[in-house]
Amino acid sequence: MAVGVFDSGLGGLTVLDAVARRLPDVPFVYLGDNAHAPYGVRTHDDIFNLTCAAVERLWQEGCDLVILACNTASAAALKRMQETWVPKDKRVLGVFVPLIEALTERQWGDNSPPREVAVKHVALFATPATVASRAFQRELAFRAIGVDVEAQPCGGVVDAIEQGDEILAEALVRSHVEALKRRMPHPQAAVLGCTHYPLMQAAFQAALGPDVKVFSQANLVAESLADYLARRPEFLGPGTQSKFLTTGDPDSVSAKATQFLRRPIRFEAA
């Protein structure tokens, strides 16, 4: 009954932590493609091929349902995967939709036409590839009209977080928020469109100010997954063990993950 969680690196551990707390009886297999991280500067074809390879590896672990806990993969590869590649007995889900549902206050499966919502000015902070894909704006347009989205590509933030350099990460966050506020001085809401960014949520909130509501993904994805599995329990795969896999060096990734989550994490070679 295992579920797979995929990320290009360590950011998806924020999602894994939340889904494991929400669904304590489900084994989760986490795969970080650390050998090829970060994805945010890669081409869409490259991201598609790497993501497919990682998802296949999780299927081998008995995970019929895989969460792409990577916004770049969700933005650049998911739609193409679902339309051309995923077989009928498997599911691959992304992390954008739960976030947009929360932002627009719409329930899962609400297929009514897009409508006006309370939030009119939204700041999106994401990797360059996620921003370039415009996937967030596309998904938002299915649900809401009249929302102005200003997107800021946050180069360097993921690298700084992966390297454990919190001071650099915070400085980059302040710089990116300042750049966005020059174009949108008064955002009502901010979307942290990368699963690494919850670790910097306090820095984003401080730079944006107390009046801006910051939306982060981990707990929203956890609730959405619990709801999905309640309705579609057949996609709980045959896997029985929780484990952490990496395409990178297991010792190095384990040390960084332990620092990242502030608890011992042991990765195995994928």
**Pairing mode, strands 28-32 and 3-7:** parallel
**Pairing mode, strands 115-116 and 65-68:** unpaired
Instruction: Assess whether 70 carries a catalytic annotation.
Output: yes
**What DSSP character marks residue 32?**
E
Q: Are 5 and 69 in contact (CB under 8 A)?
A: yes
Selecting among 52, 63, 70, 154, the annotated active-site residue is 70
One DSSP character per residue, 179-245 reads HHHHH-SS-SEEEE-STTGGGGHHHHHHHH-TTSEEE-SHHHHHHHHHHHHHH-GGGS-S----EEE
Instruction: Assess whether 194 carries a catalytic annotation.
Output: yes
Q: How far apart are CA 166 and CA 40, in angstroms?
A: 19
What 3-state DSSP class applies to 39?
coil
Q: Are 10 and 248 in contact (CB under 8 A)?
A: no
Q: What are phi and psi of 11, to 5 degrees?
A: -55, -35
E strands present in 33-120: 65-68, 91-93, 115-116
Selecting among 52, 63, 154, 194, the annotated active-site residue is 194
User: Helix, strand, coil % (nearest 5) of the chain?
Assistant: 50, 15, 35
What 3-state DSSP class applies to 8?
coil
Residues recognised as catalytic: 70, 194
